[in-house]
Amino acid sequence: MSKINRLRAMYLLIVLTVLGIQNLYSQISYANVSNKNFSMGSYGRIGVDWSFENNGSIGQRLNLNNMGSIGGRLEEQDYLELAPSIHFKPFNDSDPTQINVNFRFALYSNSLSLFGNSTSSSLGGLTLSIPEMYVEAKNISGSGVNVWVGSRLYRGPDVHITDHFYFNDHSGQGFGVEYKNTRFASLFISSTDTSATVPPYFYLNIASGTPSAALRQRNVFVLEHDIQLSEKQKITLLGEAHYMGNYLDEDIELPDTTDIILDYESDYGLVAGVRLTSSIDKIGEGSNNQIAVRYGSRIANGGDGGMSRTWLTYGAPDLNKKNYEGAMSFSIVDDLLLNFSDKSSLNLYLIYNYSKGAASSDSTAKTYFGREVFNQKKDLTVGFRHIRYVTDKFHLISEAHYSQRRDGVSPLNSMMKFSLAPTLVPTGERSFWARPHLRFVTSVARYNDAAMDSLYSPYLATVGAKRWGYYLGVKAEWWIN
């Protein structure tokens, strides 16, 4: 079966599943498909946008390059998640064990095509991924022990308005065990992406007598523990250990080339972090602050492009030692949510990241593949979102942020962005988390000389060197658990 046919079959399966459940339980609302054996969650956004430049080109993200949605995500493109779960009952009715098989199907476009005008066969069209497919057994026999196996978005809170899961994003395929305030997980990472700058996951295998490419794994071991300091304060401790083995046969005859290094050594990495969560309900119900600090070493120094997964190794190796000794990363994040009343809410955040590869250069250096990559980067963003609950169904969202990033020893790129989004909230809920939202989004950004001259944003890459960037859009966003 071709890739396109497989995608179509998957789409059909999802649709038939939803329709089948609706037909069996005709009183169930489409927005919350649920019964004792099946439930459905969803997240999505969709809309239209445009630009004043290039005779009305499609709107582009204004944020700086290599920072993803850090700095505001009101300009994000169409995206859909469907998250069905199948629920099993223990054989013994008195057994409190909860058994779930969880899935998540994500659909997005590889181009700026709108969902309504794109298919899986379009150029740069729709792509289907399955970031979650795992089985979990919770509170086994009333013991409080939870066990899961599979592919899971295993992570804690994010700075929502920047979509940044900053502290413990352990998403991947593996297994885990949880008991009370302690969580252990092991992830198994491998990749066929030969363009990546991380330590290569493939190696030459000569077991069959003929050299061929094979995959090696990175094993990631994660341990987290929560310490309840008081009713309103909690500390989370994080530790990670990463290991990649050396699968190179000593008898192998390496190709005579200076551009690609195949005899790289086994390597490892360590991560330590702490997060303090504080409830400040005296300001308003749901108000809280989370501050987190994390340090990663060697091959566990990952976190870039808006993501913080430590196994996404950053920078170049030490080509003399053929490992990542000396590589490191440091991050600090503060996320503050204040619900003043049923009149307004304010979310403020700070995100700082510093990463360094193992090469001696502070600028660029070569990878095992002979490619030049930046070996050091620093980025900082501070910003806020304010929501004014004008009426039950009309909310006014305003956002602003300042971002700066320096790659290597290049000039500092920086920008300021302000967004205003009058929003219709059909549910009439006065809450920071109320959804769905129907928004009219206007954003204006100002770039410094370095960002402008180097076209250091998706917007500038489209319209050319401009001091100011603009975005207009009509957008919808929803979620349901």
Q: What gap in Å lies between CA 330 and CA 401, rounded to an integer?
A: 21
Q: pTM score, two decimals?
A: 0.89
Q: What gap in Å lies between CA 13 and CA 23, rounded to an integer?
A: 15
What's the confidence (pLDDT) of residue 156?
Answer: 94
CA 340 to chain centre: 29
pLDDT band at 261 (very low <50, low <70, confident <90, very high): confident
Instruction: Give the start-end residues of each E strand in 252-356.
Output: 267-279, 288-297, 328-339, 344-356
End-to-end C-alpha distance for the chain, whole angstroms: 34
For CA atoms 421, 279, 223, 351, the dihedral sign is positive
Retrieve residue 153's tokens: 């978005």
Q: Is 313 exposed, middle or buried (0-12, 13-18, 19+ CB in 10 A)?
A: buried
What's the confidence (pLDDT) of residue 133?
Answer: 98
Compute the mean pLDDT over every residue in the chain, rounded to the nearest whole number: 88
What's the confidence (pLDDT) of residue 29?
Answer: 35
Contacts of 461 (CB under 8 A, 6+ apart): 60, 455
Give the angle subtended at the CA of 49 by the CAs of 48 and 53, to the nearest 5°.
155
Over its C-alpha atoms, the chain yields an Rg (Å, rounded) of 24
pLDDT in tens, 8-50: 555 544 444 444 444 433 333 334 455 689 999 999 999 999 8
8-state DSSP, 464: -
CB contact at 8 A, 99 and 136: yes
- Return the percentage of the chain with pLDDT > 70, whole number: 84
Nearest to 330 by CA among 314, 343, 349: 314
Whether the pLDDT of residue 405 is over 70: the answer is yes
What's the confidence (pLDDT) of residue 22?
Answer: 40
pLDDT in tens, 141-166: 999 999 999 999 999 999 999 999 99
In DSSP notation, 37-55 reads TEEEEEEEEEEEEE-SSTT
- CATH fold for the domain made of 36-480: Maltoporin; Chain A (2.40.170)
